[in-house]
A and B are shown apart, each in its own frame.
Chain A
């Protein structure tokens, strides 16, 4: 599954970091970093992150 984040609407609330900490995290400067392609084991968490994003900025493909 491919993971995209629309950084033009992301407000860095970090709800995805809470929902799927193995996929999304903050770097030392507070920017969002994420795993761009994930395996089946992380699908449920990643879908939960996309669902929980207050700005609905996460797009999943596949």
Chain B
């Protein structure tokens, strides 16, 4: 069916800036049924599957995060400098070069070696609370697990996890609305993270290795034109920062879906081979990254809508991947269903670099959790981040029957 898009002013309006806004609300579903895009205080929201998929990799759009510090009045300092130079905020040739240098360190070939480490880490954490039949799923599992995986990747002892998690949490303040007020804390955190990165690099220079940091150091040693000393450190900082909050939040969101769908949890316990598919179904229906941002580098027309240079677009991956117009029973959570691909890792040139690792560690975690925690339910109300942007649980009091 071809459809002529209505002029921008006639499109539905979503008040995304309202703290009560939810990307899973009826208002968003109604807007999606009415139009492929909506107006928001931040720009255009793209709501449907085909449009999100095409715009994720549209040549006239660039990743939209590069102006974030500037929008918040932050133009100097370690954080702003790192942010504007790191992989995610680069485009074209520089982006391609950095991505080529980083890819081997994030190869799917590394997963097989990491699997036993993921399993040992998950079991070690579950051991600490399993007998009690209750835990705070975020503080006791998802946060130490996500950070422990990073420790394994970096070759740091597990005991470092708390310090790394605190640094990442402070740095994460840069993504919130209080960025400018929190700047001293953010600057202190990133300085500590760079110090860590420098130590790791010095160690691998002295003792070359084929692990994650070792591979990046090797790329830098072989050709500094391709990966400079600064770019090497920037990449390690990105890997640490990018890997912690996302995985912590995503595993918490997985538990939310399974608490709402106990039959699926029981099924996963019976059939651990479904864990891989379960990760995909969770990320389709309840991704931590609910939207990704793009900005128009020039004025162009898409599906009858003129998108002016500089326009910000938010591609609502979650809304698109649960669109009943493109898949049957789109809202049903079913880990055995054949689904179209979701957008939980973004897409196009900026497709999540760490997705093989994330998929691997979440698969092992869900497998072990389902086998050891029976009938999980919330023991008290869950405390949530806003249900938009990058979302997740802050506290998740969980009760269960130990297996």
Contact in complex: A51, B108 (CB < 8 Å): yes
Looking at the assembled complex, report how far the CB atom of A12 sits from the nearest CB atom of chain B, in whole angstroms. 6
Closest to B346 in A: A13
Contact in complex: B345, A54 (CB < 8 Å): yes
For chain B residues 339-374, which have a beta carbon within 8 Å of chain A? 341, 345, 347-349, 351-352, 355
Contact in complex: B100, A54 (CB < 8 Å): no
Contact in complex: A48, B103 (CB < 8 Å): yes
Contact in complex: B103, A54 (CB < 8 Å): no
Using known A-B contacts A11-B53, A18-B96, A48-B100, determine if residue A54 contacts B351 with beta carbons closer than 8 Å: yes
Looking at the assembled complex, report how far the CB atom of A20 sits from the nearest CB atom of chain B, in whole angstroms. 9
Contact in complex: B104, A48 (CB < 8 Å): yes
Q: How far is the CA of A15 from the CA of B352 in the complex (A)?
A: 11
Contact in complex: A18, B99 (CB < 8 Å): yes
State whether the Cβ of A19 lies closer than 8 Å to any Cβ in chain B. Answer: yes
State whether the Cβ of B109 lies closer than 8 Å to any Cβ in chain A. Answer: yes
Contact in complex: B57, A15 (CB < 8 Å): no
Closest to A19 in B: B100
Looking at the assembled complex, report how far the CB atom of B90 sits from the nearest CB atom of chain A, in whole angstroms. 12
Contact in complex: A52, B348 (CB < 8 Å): no
Q: How far is the CA of A10 from the CA of B352 in the complex (A)?
A: 16
For chain A residues 4-36, which have a beta carbon within 8 Å of chain B? 11-15, 18-19, 21, 26, 30
Q: How far is the CA of A21 from the CA of B355 in the complex (A)?
A: 22
Using known A-B contacts A18-B99, A48-B100, determine if residue A11 contacts B107 with beta carbons closer than 8 Å: no
For chain B residues 53-104, which have a beta carbon within 8 Å of chain A? 53, 57, 59, 95-96, 99-100, 103-104
Q: How far is the CA of A15 from the CA of B104 in the complex (A)?
A: 13
For chain B residues 20-56, which have a beta carbon within 8 Å of chain A? 53
Q: How far is the CA of A52 from the CA of B102 in the complex (A)?
A: 10
Contact in complex: B349, A14 (CB < 8 Å): yes
Looking at the assembled complex, report how far the CB atom of A53 sits from the nearest CB atom of chain B, in whole angstroms. 9
Residues of A within 8 A of B95 (CB): 18
Q: How far is the CA of A52 from the CA of B349 in the complex (A)?
A: 11
Looking at the assembled complex, report how far the CB atom of B271 sits from the nearest CB atom of chain A, in whole angstroms. 23
Q: Which 5 A-B pairs have the closest CB atoms?
A: A52-B103, A18-B96, A13-B351, A54-B351, A51-B107
17 A-B pairs with C-beta separation under 8 A: A11-B347, A13-B348, A14-B348, A15-B349, A15-B351, A18-B96, A18-B99, A18-B100, A26-B59, A48-B100, A48-B104, A51-B103, A51-B107, A51-B109, A52-B99, A54-B345, A54-B355
Residues of A within 8 A of B (CB): 11-15, 18-19, 21, 26, 30, 48, 51-52, 54-56
